Amino acid sequence: MNENRLIVIEGPIGVGKTSLAKLLSRELNAELLLEDVEENPFLHKFYRDTQKWAFQTQLFFLLSRSRQLETLIQQSLFSAVTLTDYFLPKDRIFAYLNLTEEELVLYEQIYKLLNMTLPKPDLVVFLQANTDALLKRINHRGRDYEKALHPEYLVGLNEAYNHFFFYYEESPLLVIQTDDIDFVNHPEDLADLVKRIKEMKKGKVYYHPKRITQNEDA
């Protein structure tokens, strides 16, 4: 893999972005930039009443993500591989899913001002999972405020992510179906992914791994 890489790990809520980013940072000896979701003071309220708190939640995330990436640029940390567990353009997925028409007008004006100076990633890794798998993972990690998350909202969010990345062409894109793999508990899954990331050069690649068990034919 070439040097001076910015690698983004993305996917819907519960898909395992942060866990994978931490693992890959060690495997690739990369700088790690993680989003601090817990610092958003509106998020707990958003899950209880999405319509009332969507704009405040969205604007806080947009400003926080932009500020963190700008700081990264100013500190010149791009001399090595850098990994993040979020992608600023995906911010618009949540915006168009949750904001009113009037709120979107203001949001777009702010977004365009912030997005102009930010670098494009050299590789985006998009993690996919079906909605049932996402719900299971969300319940397993046990965040109190996510217990109010409506399954219907997650279905819509998952579909919006798939639509966004189906048409995304600005950077090389590795799409991974994660239903049948476990990067955290199965080193062979992680090792195969690292190999594919290092081989990734350009375009869009769909990767649908499935672990072979003793009860399956090789």
Active-site residues, by number, are 85
Burial, 82: exposed, middle or buried (Cβ in 10 Å; 0-12, 13-18, 19+)?
A: buried
Per-residue pLDDT of the chain (218 residues; tens, 9 = 90+): 445 478 999 999 989 999 999 999 999 888 888 887 888 999 989 988 888 999 999 999 999 888 887 776 665 555 578 888 888 888 889 999 999 999 999 999 998 888 766 778 889 999 999 999 999 888 888 777 777 788 898 999 999 999 999 999 999 999 999 988 888 888 888 998 898 888 888 899 998 876 544 333 33
Q: Which residues of 18-45 are buried (b: 16+ CB within 10 A; e: fewer)?
A: ebbbbbbbeebebbbbbbeeeebebbbb
User: Closest Cα to residue 175, out of 185, 166, 184, 183?
Assistant: 166
**Per-residue pLDDT, 212:** 47
The tokens of 36 are what? 């601090």
Q: What are phi and psi of 26, to 5 degrees?
A: -75, -40
- Sort 123 into a burial class: Cβ within 10 Å, 0-12 / 13-18 / 19+: buried
Rounded to 10 degrees, the C-alpha dihedral 142/148/151/156 comes to: -110
Continuous segment of H or E residues that includes residue 134: helix 131-141
Q: For residue 15, what pLDDT is reported? A: 92
CA distance 148 to 135: 12
CATH assignment of 6-207, among 3.40.50.970, 3.30.365.10, 3.40.50.300, 3.90.226.10: 3.40.50.300
33, β-bridge pairs: 84
pTM exceeds 0.75: yes
The span from the first CA to the last CA of the chain, in angstroms, equals 30
